[in-house]
Amino acid sequence: MRIYDISQEIFSGAIFKGDPVPAAIPLSRIKEGSPYNLSSVSMCLHSATHIDAPSHYVEEGTTVDRIPLEYCIGPCMVLTADGPIDEGFLSPLLGRGAKRLLFKGKGWLTLKAAKALAESEIVLVGTESQTVGHGHQIDEVHRILLEHELVILEGLVLKDVPEGNYYLASLPLKFGGMEGSPCRAVLLDYLPGSD
């Protein structure tokens, strides 16, 4: 079995324009006489690799601690997409059993693609970009997906992952009442007879 770590490192990872830069604050240090190292972290919940919960764009939407975990774990498909991902790109993929789609490259969802996903069996959509939308459509693409309870996984690192089928594990931290969370996302490429 091969494990692909498809997560950004938090402190050096990408942030969305205008979001605060993650910072580590030392509270205790061994080199300063403490028996242990202890730190706190200040960051936006949407930095680096992260999950958007429905409440990110839906006032009474599901918060990140209440997302069904089975949406974040399970078989997925990795596809290359550079530029707009439209409904024509998606239509051959829908209704074929894949419930989680990860887009490798600089692709983004159009409004029609977001609507097609919202009406499908898809439960999670992921992108290497810090946002699944583009330009003036960012908010509406998010709203369409999140109103239909899709999980959005953004800020992935897929450059070393070949296109194909994998097993995804991308659990958010259990931040009660919050609209998003960083996560450590991995893909498992399981070959029969391997461990």
Tally of domains in the chain = 1
Give domain status of residue 133, yes or no: yes
CA angle centred on 58, ends 53 and 64, rounded to 5°: 20
What's the pLDDT at 193? 52
The CA distance from 100 to 21, in Å, is 29
Given 46, 50, 56, 142, which residue is catalytic?
56
Respond yes or no: is residue 56 known to be catalytic: yes
Give domain status of residue 118, yes or no: yes
Give domain status of residue 24, yes or no: no
Quote the pTM value.
0.93
What's the pLDDT at 98? 83
How confident is the model over 38-45, as a mean pLDDT? Answer: 97
Query: What tokens does 185 get?
Result: 């996302």
pLDDT above 90 (res 195): no
* CATH of residue 134: 3.50.30.50
Give domain status of residue 33, yes or no: no
Query: What tokens does 82 get?
Result: 């550079």
What's the pLDDT at 48? 97
Give domain status of residue 185, yes or no: yes
Whole domain around residue 55: which residue ranges? Answer: 2-7+47-189
Label each residue of the chain as H, E or C: CEEEECCCCCCCCCCCCCCCCCEEEEEECHHHCCCCCEEEEECCCCCCCEEECHHHCCCCCCCHHHCCHHHHEEEEEEEECCEEECHHHHCCCCCCCCCEEEEECCEEECHHHHHHHHCCCCCEEEECCCCCCCHHHHHHHHHHHHHCCCEEEECCCCCCCCCEEEEEECCECCCCCCCEEEECCEEEECCCCCC
Give domain status of residue 176, yes or no: yes
Give domain status of residue 13, yes or no: no
What's the pLDDT at 45? 97
What's the pLDDT at 40? 98
Give domain status of residue 130, yes or no: yes
Per-residue pLDDT tens over the stretch 51-97: 999 999 999 999 999 999 999 999 999 999 999 999 999 999 888 88
pLDDT above 70 (res 191): no
What's the pLDDT at 96? 81
